[in-house]
């Protein structure tokens, strides 16, 4: 009996190890299926790619070709150099002459009927019409520049030699007219600037030319200035004192004095002055 028990115990142990036998009450083995093989996928992760945009920079301003060609003649550039970033439309071709007048570097823009290179010797023979000329004078200090502007004002803006009469320009600007040593003058201010239109050797105010100058100032504006600038327009009363209207603008910015003038086209001078910017940075 003990031997049988030991045999039964051994068989039971073997069955348990094989997981295929019962406790002996049934001849049919109870099989436990093996666990199914499972494949575990690695967890998915989102990869965020961050791109840093390159810093945006403003492109360098593009000055008109004729202006760039003219300014290239000055090596080195004069201190505080400025030039017009845009030019008025013209009927013809634009060229330029450069030079020094009293130590000042200046550019004269000229309208021609056919293409002519900058500083071409043929300009003296082929003629052309002056659009405008611009220059700047670097002084030793801000106060020197202010003093030079004050002197220019005393020379270019005539003082009234008689009673002033109220005058309203076409766009409603309040002005006055008065006699001066050079002729009848129309006077007003624009953004703090002193503006005067003189009828040279004439006793009648040039209201039409004053209207035109005032309209151009309103549409074009005036250059950046650290002091009150001046606009002077001269209208010949007859051919014996001049063939065309002339104009000059002058202002200061820091220690620099800037001038734009025209012997043929006052409106163009105002337009060019309004477009003056530091060269070549704009």
- Give the pLDDT of residue 103: 55
pLDDT in tens, 117-149: 999 998 877 778 999 999 999 999 999 999 999
Residues whose CB falls within 8 Å of the CB of residue 232, separated by 6 or more in sequence, listed in order: 156, 157, 196, 198, 247, 248, 249
Tell me the three state secondary structure of residue 123: helix
| CA distance readout (Å), 38 to 75, 196, 277 | 82, 97, 76
CB count in 10 Å sphere of residue 46: 4
Confidence class for position 4, pLDDT limits 50, 70, 90: very low
The least confident of 42-51, 162-171, 245-254 is 42-51
Find the mean pLDDT for residues 160-183.
Answer: 97
Confidence class for position 54, pLDDT limits 50, 70, 90: low
The least confident of 14-18, 132-136, 166-170 is 14-18
| Residue 11 reports pLDDT greater than 50 | no
CB 174 within 8 A of CB 214: no
CB count in 10 Å sphere of residue 33: 5
- Give the pLDDT of residue 105: 85
- Give the pLDDT of residue 52: 52
- Give the pLDDT of residue 117: 95
Provide the whole-model pTM.
0.78
Confidence class for position 101, pLDDT limits 50, 70, 90: low
Find the mean pLDDT for residues 106-112.
Answer: 96
CB 123 within 8 A of CB 101: no
- Give the pLDDT of residue 123: 87
Q: How far apart are CA 84 and CA 170, in angstroms?
A: 28
Q: Give the position of tokens 């003629």.
A: 127
- Give the pLDDT of residue 127: 74
- Give the pLDDT of residue 83: 97
Q: What are residue 116's DSSP bridge partners?
A: none
Percent of the chain with pLDDT over 70: 77
Residues whose CB falls within 8 Å of the CB of residue 13, separated by 6 or more in sequence, listed in order: none
- Give the pLDDT of residue 100: 73
pLDDT in tens, 173-197: 999 999 999 999 999 999 999 999 9
Find the mean pLDDT for residues 153-162.
Answer: 97
The least confident of 40-54, 99-113, 241-255 is 40-54
| CA distance readout (Å), 243 to 130, 202, 209, 274 | 13, 14, 15, 26
- Give the pLDDT of residue 218: 97
Computed over every residue of the chain, the mean pLDDT equals 84
Q: How far apart are CA 235 and CA 243, in angstroms?
A: 9
- Give the pLDDT of residue 61: 77
Find the mean pLDDT for residues 71-80.
Answer: 92
The least confident of 56-60, 213-217, 235-239 is 56-60
């Amino acid at each position: 009996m003990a031997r049988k028990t030991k045999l039964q115990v051994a068989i039971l142990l073997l069955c348990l190890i094989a997981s295929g036998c019962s406790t002996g009450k049934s001849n049919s083995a109870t099989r436990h299926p093996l666990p199914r093989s499972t494949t575990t996928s690695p967890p998915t992760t989102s990869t965020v790619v961050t791109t840093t945009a390159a810093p945006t920079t403003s492109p360098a301003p593009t000055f008109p070709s004729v202006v760039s060609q003219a300014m290239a003649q000055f090596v080195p550039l004069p201190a505080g150099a400025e030039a017009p970033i845009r030019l008025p439309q013209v009927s013809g071709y634009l060229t330029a002459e450069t030079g020094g007048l009293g130590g000042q570097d200046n550019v004269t823009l000229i309208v021609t009927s056919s293409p002519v290179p900058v500083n071409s010797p043929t300009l003296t023979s082929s003629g052309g019409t002056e659009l405008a000329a611009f220059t700047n004078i670097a002084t030793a200090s801000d106060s020197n520049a202010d003093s030079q502007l004050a002197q220019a004002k005393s020379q270019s803006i005539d003082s009234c030699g008689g009673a002033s009469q109220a005058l309203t320009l076409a766009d409603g600007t309040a002005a006055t007219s008065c006699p001066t040593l050079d002729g009848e003058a129309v006077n007003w201010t624009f953004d703090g600037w002193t503006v005067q239109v003189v009828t040279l050797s004439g006793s009648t105010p040039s209201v039409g030319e004053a209207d035109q100058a005032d309209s151009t100032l309103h549409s074009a504006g005036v250059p950046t200035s650290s002091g009150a600038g001046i606009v002077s327009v001269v209208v010949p009363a007859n051919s014996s004192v001049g063939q065309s209207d002339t104009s000059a603008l002058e202002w200061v910015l820091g220690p620099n004095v800037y001038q734009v003038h025209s012997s043929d086209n006052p409106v163009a001078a105002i337009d060019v002055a309004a477009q003056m910017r530091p060269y070549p940075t704009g």
